Amino acid sequence: MFNFDPAQRCWVHDKSQDRIIAWWSGWADQFKSIATISAYGLVHWDELLLDGWWPWETWPPGDL
């Protein structure tokens, strides 16, 4: 998640519930203001634990 750009439409993986979520670029400002990233690259944001992302065009995303 270190190279994740919240301003780009993509798919993200929520590790806490093992699900893939469509990411909307409109969430970027909120993401930038409240998200925290761990040393391991896990992102805590809005009750989600994000651990991976894929470009929008790559649906379905690659191996989890």
Is the pLDDT at 40 greater than 80? The verdict is yes
Helix, coil or strand: residue 8: coil
- At residue 2, the pLDDT reads 81
Confidence class for position 63, pLDDT limits 50, 70, 90: low
- 32: DSSP letter: H
Q: What is the pLDDT of residue 62?
A: 61
- The overall longest dimension of the chain from CA atoms, in Å, is 30
Cα–Cα–Cα angle for 45, 40, 30, rounded to 5 degrees? 20
